[in-house]
Structure 1
Amino acid sequence: MRKKLLCIIFLFLLALGGCGAQDGNSHVPVAGEEIIPSNYAKEKNWMLLEEKGQKPADVFYLYPTSWARKDKKDYPVSTIQAKNMRKRARSVAASQARAFDMAGNLYAPYYRQVEAAFILDRDQEEQMAYYGGVPKTDVIAAFDYYIKHYNQGRPFLLVGHSQGAVMVKEILFDYMDKNPEVYKRMVAAYVIGFSVTEQELEEHPYLKFAEGPEDTGVIISYNTEAPGMTEKNPTVLPGAVCINPISWTRDETPASASENAGSLIKAEGREQKLEGFADARIDKERGTVICSTVDPAVYHSSDVEHFPLGIFHRFDFRFYYYNLKENAQVRVEKFLEEWDDE
């Protein structure tokens, strides 16, 4: 009886964290280790789930880092049930995911995350190893379940920000490589708030980076900064490539704030559309999008200590919100036109 009870306790701890006990000194699984994925047959593990799928295309959305430990002695990977993660994820999705609600049916799983304060202290290789552990295990399992049970053969967009963007990259680099028939239905992948690099594109030659506003089967990616940044941006990798989210071009020609379709900014106590707020220019040397019309002291990612003043990480979506909203619809319409012609 005692042995059976100990076995039950051990399995319970595994289910909580995907690995052993929940304390800060426990081993955190990395890429390549055996990890039990969360169960995506359970509807409660989905934040957004349009089961009937009325629109002709889907959107598979992955939220940014929404998990933070209350005590640094706690385990740095969330459980799938973590209330503060789920609450924060729903809050962020209310704006980010809804930017794409006209483009397709929304699907968004809850997934276990690595805390930003834990992972951003590591070098790039370590970061990717941790991202490729528990978070990737959940995301790949969720996407596979979505494809097999909800997608019904429809075209789809992939959308993610920050840690969610890293997870979109994992789907692109791993799942799409193994499932080319699924990749054929991908309208576009919006990898916002984390870099895609020239080297990664060379290592995965089946992937294409966007060149304009209408191309399909492509990756769209950028990170937003103020002019004159010299400090390290923790979400920008060496060799990063990006696209201008106003003009949807790859060169360094500035796009003025007057050309911006609209930003979603909290002003006068409420969120509202602001026109003429944020401009955009690509800095190819840094591999980022530069916004010169916004005060960095006001729009600072101050809730994450690893982001120096002048990095607009929290506002990657918001500065170009209506550009993203319109562009997603344009790409879906273009894909469906070509899809019907085949």
Structure 2
Amino acid sequence: MARKFLYFFAFCIILVIAGAFLLARFPAELTRLAMVPTAAFTPVTPLPANAYEDPKLWYSRPGIGTSDPARWQPAYAGDRGLLPTPAEPKQQFAVFFVHPTSYVNRASWNAPLENGGDPEAERIARIYLRGMASPFNAATEIWAPRYRQATFGAFLTDAPEGRQAIDAAYADVREAFRFFVSSVDPKTPIVLAGHSQGALHLKRLLAEEVKGTPLAQRLVAAYVVGWPVSPLHDLPVMGTPACTAADQTGCVLGWSSFGEPADPSLVLEAYESAPALDGKLPGAEPMLCTNPLTGLTGGTAPASANLGTLVPEETLEKGTLQPGLVPATCDKRGLLLIGPAPEMGSYVLPGNNYHVYDLPLFWANTKADVARRVGAWKPAR
């Protein structure tokens, strides 16, 4: 169970609710008290096989038009200097994007879909998509499903209800993915992307729906961001190698961003003690770290290589691109260090954890990375 990984992200909420003193003495107990549902788990009825034919079950898909949050395009702030504009892909491609946890209500284990869903979770999900799915907006098609995601507290408990909630969320994502595959031209290359809970579900999709199938030949890249990926215990099960070249296709990219000085102790403890896809504990093995400024596994790059960070306004609903703002270095633990903590708003988590900003920090480079890999992709012969 990956529950400990998200303890860290609940701490900042508990800090406000219960105060630093109580949190220091009873962190696990207070986290569970504030976030884990107390209601009995209600089995989630599987969606009908044709459920995702309904446009209402998608935040993004062809035909939505100007209200599609993933199609938002930020502008650059001020003079861009001599930095190049990210190239547009020269061929069509389709993106399947799974958004991170926006449902934190402890009234139920899974987010509702009926009657428009939970209003606050829906609002936050659209904000996430504007900031995190928009780097992929050069795609011919972007598909981002609504799904009955596990509530935040489901990751913070060893109770079977937590695992059941996560499995139910994955089942929705899987059904949405199958509809996506059936809807996209079979000759079109695909990009998979997701963040946090969305990235967790992508890992399983790659292992169960892509590995060993014709889809693997169509995979340009998988951006599995904001959730740990073990090179030894996850990637072989996923059947997809790490990206070790900037124009490599059929590979995985992933990173977790920290400003300096960084205190990633809780994240590392969770990673070491949570079973990977092969059922084994990663231990002290470094997690996968792609440097988003170079597109390579590991290494360092200066801030001058950053084509544009999406710096949000306080509400995260709008923002502007600022080039040259942050560098990137993969350290020996597999964490992505971004230098002295930049000002990105009030959602930086304790320990200088820039989890919410993993993709916005490297917005323009991610867009350029996608274009480069799509351009290098070749159909199977």
* Structure 2 length-normalised TM: 0.71
What is the one-letter code of the residue matched to 1:274?
Q
Residue-by-residue CA offset, 1:74-117 (whole Å, 9 max, x unaligned) = 1131112413222221222122212111133111111111122x
Q: Does the Cα contact within 8 Å between 1:162 and 1:235 map onto a contact in 2?
A: no
Give the residue type in structure 1 aligned to 2:56.
K
Q: For residue 336 of structure 2, what is the amino acid of its counterpart?
A: V
Amino acid across the alignment from 2:325: F
The 1:230–1:133 alpha-carbon spacing in structure 2 relative to 1, beyond 3 Å, is closer
Per mean C-alpha deviation after superposition, the further-off stretch among 144-153 and 275-284 is: 144-153
Match of 1:210 among 243, 246, 267: 243
Q: Deviation of residue 268 (structure 1)?
A: 9.7
Shift of 1:37: 2.7
Q: Distance in 2 between matches of 1:235 and 1:173?
A: 25
CA deviation vs aligned residue, 1:222-269 (integer Å, no higher than 9, x gap): 000123424212897233111111122223x42111111110103699
Question: Which consecutive residues of structure 1, in runs of 5 or more, have no partner in the other structure?
Answer: 1-22
Q: 2:323 aligns with which of 261, 268, 275?
A: 275
Preserved contact between residue 300 and residue 310 of structure 1 (Cα < 8 Å): no
In 1, the alpha carbon distance for the partners of 2:353 and 2:314 equals 24
Q: Residue 328 of structure 2 aligns to which amino acid in structure 1?
A: A
- Do the aligned partners of 1:301 and 1:311 also contact (CA within 8 Å) in 2? no
Does the 8 A contact of 1:279 with 1:292 survive in 2? yes
Give the AA of the match of 2:54: K
The match for 2:62 is 50
Question: After TM superposition, which residue ranges in structure 1, 4 or more long, deviate above 4 angstroms?
Answer: 125-128, 267-270
Identity, % of aligned positions: 22
- Whether 1:37 aligns to 2:37 is no
Secondary structure of residue in 2 paired with 1:233: helix
* DSSP-derived class of the 2:103 partner: coil
Find the counterpart in structure 2 of residue 292 from structure 1.
Answer: 339
Quote how far apart the aligned CAs of 1:130 are. Answer: 4.5
Q: Is 1:277–1:294's contact at 8 Å kept on the other side of the alignment?
A: no
Question: CA offset at residue 200 of structure 1?
Answer: 3.0
Question: Aligned partners of 2:291, 2:112: CA distance in 1, in Å?
Answer: 36
Measured in 2, the distance between the counterparts of 1:221 and 1:205 equals 13
Q: Cα 1:196–1:300, aligned 2, differ >3 Å: closer, same or farther?
A: farther
Compared CA separation, residues 180 and 267, structure 1 to 2 (3 A): same
Partner Cα separation in structure 1 for residue 150 and residue 319 of structure 2:
29
Answer 1 or 2: higher relative contact order, Cα 8 Å, separation at least 6: 2
Conserved 8 A contact 2:264-2:351: no
Corresponding residue for 1:223?
Answer: 256
Query: C-alpha separation between the residues in 1 aligned to 2:226 and 2:182?
Result: 28
Using the alignment, how far apart are the partners of 1:128 and 1:24 within structure 2?
11
Q: 1-side partners of 2:292 and 2:164: how far apart?
A: 30
1:255 corresponds to which of 301, 304, 308: 301
- Cα gap change, 1:133 to 1:142, in 2 (>3 Å): same
The equivalent residue for 2:372 is 330
Alignment of 1:121 with 2:135, yes or no, is no
Q: Alpha carbons of 1:331 and 1:28: their partners in 2 closer, same or farther (altered >3 Å)?
A: farther
- The superposition leaves residues 116-161 of structure 1 with CA deviations (integer Å, 9 ceiling, x where unpaired) of 2x034236x9798346411100000000111113444411100101
Report the CA distance between 1:308 and its aligned residue: 2.4
* CA offsets 1:244-302 (integer angstroms, 9 cap, x no match): 11122223x421111111101036995111112111000122x2100113347x65535
Q: Is contact 1:62–1:159 with CA below 8 Å preserved after alignment?
A: yes
Distance in 2 (alpha carbons) for counterparts of 1:45 and 1:57: 22
Q: Secondary structure at the match of 2:171?
A: helix
Amino acid at match of 2:150: V
Partner residue of 1:162? 196
Find out whether 1:62 has 2:98 as its counterpart: yes
Q: Where does residue 68 of structure 2 map in the other structure? A: none
Instruction: Indicate how the Cα distance of structure 1 residues 183 and 105 shifts in structure 2: closer, same or farther if over 3 A, else same.
Output: same
SS class of match (2:60): strand
Conserved? CA contact 1:35–1:133, under 8 Å: no
